[in-house]
Amino acid sequence: MREQILKAIELNGKRTVEDLALMLGNPESEIAAEISEMEKERIICGYHTLINWDKTGVEKVTALIEVKVTPQRGQGFDKIAERIYNFKEVKAVYLMSGGFDLTVIIEGATMKEVALFVAQKLAPLESVLSTATHFVLKKYKDFGVVLDEPVKDERMAVTP
Amino acid sequence: MMEDKLSRVAQGIPPSGIRKFFDIVTEMKDAISLGVGEPDFDTPWHIREEGIYSLEKGKTYYTSNSGLIELREEVCNYLDRRFDLKYNYKEEILITVGGSEGIDVALRALLNPGDEVLVPEPSFVCYKPMTTLAGGVPVPVPLQAKNEFRLTAEEIEAHVTDKTKAIILAFPSNPTGAIMDKGNLEAIAEVIRKHDLVVISDEIYAELTYGVKHVSIASLPGMRERTIIISGFSKAYAMTGWRIGYAVGPKAVIDLMTKIHQFAIMSVPTTSQYAALEAARNGDKDIQEMCGAYNQRRRFMVDSFRKMGLDCFEPLGAFYVFPSIQKTRMTSEEFATKLLFEQKVAVVPGTAFGECGEGFIRCSYAYSIENLKIAVERMGAFVKKHTP
């Protein structure tokens, strides 16, 4: 049942327990209990809203930074990852395979702000060997959702 | 001048009961429709992309009349993998323009003037007209709500004559959502063998069953040699507009169907065949995903109708719910028309699928849950107002 609940709310965090109970065919009490259990276990880590900021007046810049680091003895990459992800500007940190070690995604109000963060906070960290900053120019699709106008139902209204 | 030159047979066929509704709904701007008989999903991208690629590669010529050999082979593999049906791709399959063409050529290949065809109703709208056009005589077999619209051996017995040649079996059913499980099929198979009937089994919704796996009547003993299975890509892979389906059956009838198809159609659009090839090869996961989504909506709809106080048996297939509206004391058509004008929700009156559909409406759940919620809210208000 967990997997079914997660699938049903993955793209719509607003689904009510009542709707989920109907859709999945389980009692509301069971669904509610399962959800709160998953929240406690940090399987469900939050209910966010996917916003297309480009359509608002708010200025936002996103950058993807490739970071090469020296892993620390006994702690691997985790310690340095923690040093980085605790900055509130950092939206995501992933450990990568391949040509660099960490992907760091940063959001700032302006390009300058992001550049300063990299220069003043990220690059000087002792374990950081190098950084390469890539600015996002346009988001087409995020979290599995195409950030464009919703598609109209073009099917004929009544068909046999 | 042209009026008196027309075919009396074609003119004699009553117009589709859906047409009138279609015109009104199209005029109405903010109407919510539950009247659509096709998936709301787009064709999965990897399938569409394969169609595009075939065009880029210049695959714009005719294919063999029977269809691309790779596609025939892949469809036979698919039928074996999913339903344990074994057909020889070299001589027991024909690729058709949707399931519709399959039904048409099957009837034309089978019927001699005056042959009777049993058509269990309520059913999809094409069986009776196609039978008439093929020179046959359609004999409606009314199904019962108390049997959850499954077909019984007694119902066949009651309508069989010495002229009966074939029976149409269309389960999972549009419009009722009814299915026939293995036990139900075994019961009718006996009568079908006894009267030596041919079965045209329209299994276009075979992939859309909930909690029960679809069983084809052709998989029962002694039935393969008398069954033509009609199916296609429209419902399982959301490919309605591609117009591609297939028929499988014994060589003798497929040969004759291929002959008719060869003169009437030539071959199915090549782009659609390449897209279908990708679907049959790599589409099992898509089916599973879509089927899961339909199942959630199905539960939601059945529950909503029952909360409204409408009798509604649990449909186990396709994407339709067929609730009874008898307690409103309206006819199906009255109900559907009033609902459309008062609450701007379009449903299809049960009578569009045969006279015995009176007292029922067909509601499609090939819509998002959000959409369905608004529709059932409006319907709830309507039913409350009109229940004496």
Q: Is the minimum CB–CB distance between A159 and chain B shorter than 8 Å?
A: yes
In a domain? residue A36: yes
The end-to-end CA distance of chain B, in Å, is 53
In a domain? residue A155: no
In a domain? residue A143: no
A69 shares a domain with A130: yes
Question: What b-and-e string marks burial along B200-218, b requiring 16 or more CB atoms within 10 Å of the CB?
Answer: bbbbbbbbbbbeeebbbbb
Measured CA distances, B269 to B51, B95, B189, B260, B306 (Å): 11, 10, 36, 17, 44
Q: How many CA atoms lie within 13 A of B41 on its CB side?
A: 21
In a domain? residue A151: no
Q: Is the minimum CB–CB distance between A154 and chain B shorter than 8 Å?
A: no
Contacts of B138 (CB under 8 A, 6+ apart): B116, B117, B119, B127, B128, B131, B132
A26 shares a domain with A85: no
Count of structural domains within chain A: 2
Q: Is the minimum CB–CB distance between B369 and chain A shorter than 8 Å?
A: yes
Q: Is the minimum CB–CB distance between B289 and chain A shorter than 8 Å?
A: no
In a domain? residue A146: no
Q: What does the pLDDT average to over A62-76?
A: 90
A70 shares a domain with A129: yes
Q: Is the distance from CB of B313 to CB of B298 less than 8 angstroms? A: no
Which domains, and CATH codes, for chain B? 2-43+286-386 (3.90.1150.10), 45-282 (3.40.640.10)
A14 shares a domain with A85: no
Instruction: Tell me which of A24, A158, A159 to substitute to probe the interface with B (most B C-beta atoms closer than 10 Å).
Output: A158
Q: Is the distance from CB of B47 to CB of B283 less than 8 angstroms? A: yes
Nearest Cβ partner of B369 from A19, A155, A157?
A19
Q: State residue B301's pLDDT score.
A: 96
3-state secondary structure chain B: CHHHHCCHHHHHCCCCCCHHHHHHHHHCCCCEECECCCCCCCCCHHHHHHHHHHHHCCCCCCCCCCCCHHHHHHHHHHHHHHHCCCCCCCCCEEEECHHHHHHHHHHHHHCCCCCEEEEEECCCCCHHHHHHHCCCEEEEEECCHHHCCCCCHHHHHHHCCCCEEEEEECCCCCCCCCCCCHHHHHHHHHHHHHCCCEEEEECCCCCCECCCCCCCHHHCCCCHHHEEEEEECCCCCCCHHHCCEEEECCHHHHHHHHHHHHHHCCCCCHHHHHHHHHHHHHCHHHHHHHHHHHHHHHHHHHHHHHHHCCCCCCCCECCEECCECHHHCCCHHHHHHHHHHHHCEECEEHHHHCHHHCCEEEEECCCCHHHHHHHHHHHHHHHHHHCC
Contacts of A16 (CB under 8 A, 6+ apart): none
The pTM score is 0.92
- The share of chain A scoring above pLDDT 90, in percent, equals 80
Q: How far is B25 from chain A (nearest CA, A)?
A: 7
* pLDDT confidence tier of residue A72, bands split at 50, 70 and 90: confident
Range of the domain at A10: 2-40
| Closest chain A residue by Cα to residue B125 | A160
Q: State residue A75's pLDDT score.
A: 81
Q: Is the distance from CB of A127 to CB of A72 less than 8 angstroms? A: yes
| Closest chain B residue by Cα to residue A24 | B296
In a domain? residue A8: yes
Cα–Cα distance, B150 to B121 (Å, whole number) = 10
Q: Is the pLDDT reported for residue A151 higher than 80?
A: no
- According to DSSP, residue A150 is labeled P
Q: Is the minimum CB–CB distance between A145 and chain B shorter than 8 Å?
A: no
A58 shares a domain with A34: no
In a domain? residue A29: yes
A58 shares a domain with A36: no
Instruction: Tell me which of B210, B235, B369, B372 to substitute to probe the interface with A (most A C-beta atoms closer than 10 Å).
Output: B369
A133 shares a domain with A112: yes
Peptide bond preceding B138 in cis form (omega within 30 of 0): no
A34 shares a domain with A77: no
Q: At what angle do helices B284-308 and A17-24 cross, to 10 degrees?
A: 110
A126 shares a domain with A63: yes
Q: Is the minimum CB–CB distance between B283 and chain A shorter than 8 Å?
A: no
In a domain? residue A148: no
| Closest chain A residue by Cα to residue B35 | A158
Q: Is the minimum CB–CB distance between A153 and chain B shorter than 8 Å?
A: yes
A104 shares a domain with A67: yes
**Tens digits of pLDDT across chain B (388 residues):** 898 999 999 999 988 877 777 888 888 878 899 999 999 999 999 999 999 999 999 999 999 999 999 999 999 999 999 999 999 999 999 999 999 999 999 999 999 999 999 999 999 999 999 999 999 999 999 999 999 999 999 999 999 999 999 999 999 999 999 999 999 999 999 999 999 999 999 999 999 999 999 999 999 999 999 999 999 999 999 999 999 999 999 999 999 999 999 999 999 999 999 999 999 999 999 999 999 999 999 999 999 999 999 999 999 999 999 999 999 999 999 999 999 999 999 999 999 999 999 999 999 999 999 999 999 999 999 999 999 8
A79 shares a domain with A31: no
Q: How far is B35 from chain A (nearest CA, A)?
A: 4
Contacts of A24 (CB under 8 A, 6+ apart): A1, A4, A5, A8, A31, B296, B299
Q: Is the minimum CB–CB distance between A147 and chain B shorter than 8 Å?
A: no
Measured CA distances, B167 to B117, B118, B154, B241, B359 (Å): 5, 5, 14, 28, 25
Instruction: Choose among A15, A6, A150: nearest CA to B373.
Output: A15
Cα–Cα distance, A81 to A84 (Å, whole number) = 5
* pLDDT confidence tier of residue A152, bands split at 50, 70 and 90: confident
> What ipTM score was computed for the predicted complex, to two decimals?
0.80
Q: What does the pLDDT average to over A84-102?
A: 95
Q: At what angle do helices B19-27 and B332-343 cross, to 10 degrees?
A: 10
Q: State residue A157's pLDDT score.
A: 85
Query: For the domain that residue A87 is a member of, what is the CATH number?
Result: 3.30.70.920
A132 shares a domain with A57: yes
